[in-house]
Chain A
Amino acid sequence: MTLGTMTAQESTGQALHVDHLSVYIGELHILEDVTLRASRGRCTALLGRNGSGKTTTLKSIMGLVPPAGGRVTFYGRDITGRPAHEVARLGIGYVPEDRGVFTGLTVRENLLLAQRKRDDERLRRVVRLFSELDPLLDRRAGTLSGGERQMVAIARALVNPVRLLLVDEPSKGLAPRAVRRLAELLAEVKKEATVLLVEQNFFLAAELADHCYVLDSGRTVYEGPMGELEADEETRRKYLGVA
């Protein structure tokens, strides 16, 4: 695949820096002092149990949940609290936990809606990569299976030049075969774009990610190379419930 998402200068260094991020919802502290970095051209995993603050972290980066404190910078540019449409236009793609596919639109309409500048060639390349979608282009997205919807959601995030892809629980609710295909596709995507991946499926995250952070009750409790966490059984068991 060649989606031309990263320039040569962007292929090394730091894409995203989340610095001491705090988020409250009402009186409730959802995130407290979360700090993380996503290196250019790498896949960084954000792990943790349900309710640990992973989704809120992504939403806050994307401008969907306003932070109470801290800073988010994207290629050195402060994007803290910027509205989501501005964040997206900087080249940040977002695949939410519930896929966010528009079920009343066809697959083609879902893709065309997302494309900010008409680029048929790019659209063709994306459809080539997600080859299962080709015969489904004129089907209403509401009739697709969970795996197919997930493909639409990721494909939709790639129809514009994307410098950072935020992916929230992509394997959730998918059959094992669909998870395998998803892993193949995300492995292709990470060759071209920086990926910040929230995932409950530890083994999928271990396969894709180079670096990881573990959140627990809204705080960062672990940071390190993915390989180290794979070897650290105690941390896995304590914070992820994975032996």
Chain B
Amino acid sequence: MELKVVVSLLLQGVSLGMLYFLIASGLSLIFGLMGVLNLAHGSLFMWGAYVAMTVYGLTGSFALGLVGGLLAGAALGVVLETTLIRRLYGNPVGQILLTLGLILVLDETVKLIWGPTLLPYPKPAFLAGSAEVLGRAFPHYRIFLIVLGALVWLVIHLVLNRTKVGLIIRAGVEDREMVTTLGIDVKKVFTGVFALGGALAALGGAAAGPFLLVYPQLGLNNLFPAIIVVVIGGLGSFTGSVIGGLLVGVTQSFVGYYEPQLAVAVNVALMALVLLVRPHGLLGHRGV
């Protein structure tokens, strides 16, 4: 294989991996801290895409669209946690049923507001072109996705490792009962982490919209890869979700180039392989 093809596929995989990371990191943090597998997480991703597209359409500002999507995800996260999910802590079956139901409600609401058809979400002009990498065109938008993913990783990494809130989250993922005995109200932290998870997923959706297009099954179609990323990276591990996202993205990119029909199946095989070697995922049980 030529070097330029390898580099091109690698960059393509990294950009896809960063998108997966944005969805999976929130899912992983929420599961790690609260023990909740939020199956409606993909729907927050989709809501981010729809809200961002609408705000972009109304204001003409792509950046405002991203912020709008992010805020919508955070707000939805707060509402869902405080009104519904909080009642079902410690009840995993109830959580699965509730979040499955939420997928239906959130997806149907999208159809009511925006209709059931695929909608265009144009790339902003400054991200519409391509750059040349080793003689092959590489879209600016994919470069934007890589930069956005890296920035989000850096910001959250700093928050987790340099602030008291981050310290509480890292400790809470390890032993939330002990955190409460130190005088910390974990319920408030739960709401905050749910908001953060929702915001990250929605930002992912807002950024993915011009790339994947916007349609009512967008969330469901991306939930499965996100769960694979979380399992590979290790439940509760933020850094694990970066590594898992990149592994899944790059693998999918290379396999898809040669055998497109195996592009999704290979991720399941990758997950099985990782679990055989490390049953808790790559960075599971190592903290956030």
Report A's interface with B, CB cutoff 8 A.
62-64, 83-85, 87-89, 94, 96, 100, 102-105, 109, 112-114, 116, 156, 160
Contact = CB atoms under 8 A, between A and B. Distances in A.
Interface stretch (B114-122, B173-181, B254-262): B173-181
Nearest to A116: B183
A87 B180 CA distance: 9
Interface of B: 164, 167-168, 170-171, 174-175, 177-186, 286-288
Contact of A94 (B167, B181, B286): B181
A104 B186 contact: no
Given A104-B287, A105-B167, A112-B167, A62 B181 contact: yes
Contacts of B288: 104
Contact of B181 (A84, A102, A105, A116): A84
A64 B176 CA distance: 12
A100 B186 CA distance: 16
Given A104-B287, A112-B167, A160-B183, A96 B174 contact: no
Contacts of B182: 85, 88, 113-114, 116, 156
Contact of A85 (B164, B167, B180): B180
A104 B183 contact: no
B180 A105 contact: no
B78 to A, nearest CB: 20
B49 to A, nearest CB: 34
B180 A102 contact: no
Nearest to B178: A100
A94 B168 CA distance: 17
A170 to B, nearest CB: 15
Contact of A102 (B174, B183, B286): B174
User: Which secondary structure dominates where chain B touches chain A?
Assistant: helix
A100 B181 contact: yes
A88 B170 contact: no
Contacts of B164: 112-113
A66 B39 CA distance: 31
A103 B174 contact: yes
Nearest to A94: B181
B192 to A, nearest CB: 15
B171 A113 contact: yes
A28 B179 CA distance: 27
B178 A102 contact: yes
Contacts of A87: 181
Contacts of A94: 181
A88 B183 contact: yes
Contacts of B171: 102, 104-105, 113
B177 A64 contact: yes
B238 to A, nearest CB: 12
A104 B179 CA distance: 14
Contact of A84 (B174, B175, B180): B180
10 contacts: A83-B180, A84-B181, A88-B182, A100-B181, A103-B174, A103-B287, A104-B286, A104-B288, A113-B179, A114-B182
Of the candidates B164, B180, B288, the one having the most CB atoms from chain A within 10 angstroms of its own CB is B180
Nearest to A104: B287
A115 to B, nearest CB: 9
Nearest to B173: A104
Contacts of A104: 170-171, 174, 286-288
Nearest to A118: B164
A160 B164 CA distance: 16
A96 B181 contact: yes
B175 A102 contact: yes
Nearest to A99: B178
A118 to B, nearest CB: 9
Contacts of A113: 164, 167-168, 171, 179, 182
B178 A105 contact: no
B276 to A, nearest CB: 25
Contacts of B185: 83, 85
Nearest to B179: A113
A87 to B, nearest CB: 8
Given A100-B175, A104-B174, A104-B287, A64 B167 contact: no
Contacts of A83: 180, 185
Contact of A105 (B177, B183, B184, B287): B287
